[in-house]
Chains A and B, each alone.
Chain A
Amino acid sequence: NAGVMQNPRHLVRRRGQEARLRCSPMKGHSHVYWYRQLPEEGLKFMVYLQKENIIDESGMPKERFSAEFPKEGPSILRIQQVVRGDSAAYFCASSPASGGYEQFFGPGTRLTVL
């Protein structure tokens, strides 16, 4: 059973470009979470999605950031017009349900904005 897949593993963008981060949850998991981690800091929740639904986006910046989890295909975290402050590791996690289940994390996408 493959784990959570994320791609790309490393992404370099120039200021003003768009970044698209992809996440395929573990087989059988319908709950996906995105977290951001700055160097030597903890993980900050961004958004929680189920298929075709955003359940909790309380951690998402109001502008430039969006997330989706379509009926078919991976979950996408999209960052428009990236700025240097967006440089971070972005982790996706999945679980079979919410509320007290462990979250399985993917390897992360390291985004560098030049």
Chain B
Amino acid sequence: GQQVMQIPQYQHVQEGEDFTTYCNSSTTLSNIQWYKQRPGGHPVFLIQLVKSGEVKKQKRLTFQFGEAKKNSSLHITATQTTDVGTYFCAAISGTSYGKLTFGQGTILTVHP
């Protein structure tokens, strides 16, 4: 089945530093979604990327979809303590086109 690899598994940063997490697939993806999960919470949708080479921004967050639609990244500029949590990428898969295959997630810790 489809696999989505995400790195790094953990990232510790000082408040104000930048952060990036990467997602890779061996197969071409139709689209990719990003979710954030706070400690003890549930995943919350951040964004969906569909087009090759697409770049979307949400305030300090920048999302990119690779030209070959096999990789994606999430970059946070000047992290804040409120950015703490686990960031997951997820790809739509399955013949039903409803199943999300999640990456392993990157756990972000921000030290004040």
Q: Using CB atoms and an 8 Å cutoff, list the residues of chain A in contact with chain B.
A: 31, 33, 35, 40-45, 48, 55-56, 58-59, 91, 93, 95, 98-100, 102-108
Give the number of residues in B that approach A within 8 Å (Cβ atoms): 29
Can you pick out 17 interface pairs between chain A and chain B where the beta carbons lie within 8 Å of each other?
Answer: A31-B98, A35-B100, A35-B102, A42-B6, A42-B88, A42-B102, A42-B103, A42-B104, A43-B90, A45-B99, A45-B100, A45-B102, A48-B99, A91-B43, A93-B43, A99-B98, A100-B50
Residue contact B102 to A103, C-beta cutoff 8 Å: no
- Residue on B nearest A4 in the bound complex, by CB: B42
Chain A residues with CB under 8 Å of B100's CB are 33, 35, 43, 45, 103
B29 → chain A closest CB, angstroms: 11
| Cross-chain contact A40 with B101 (CB below 8 angstroms) | no
Known contacts A43-B43, A105-B43, A108-B42: does B99 contact A58 (CB below 8 Å)? yes
Q: Does B7 contact A (CB under 8 A)?
A: no
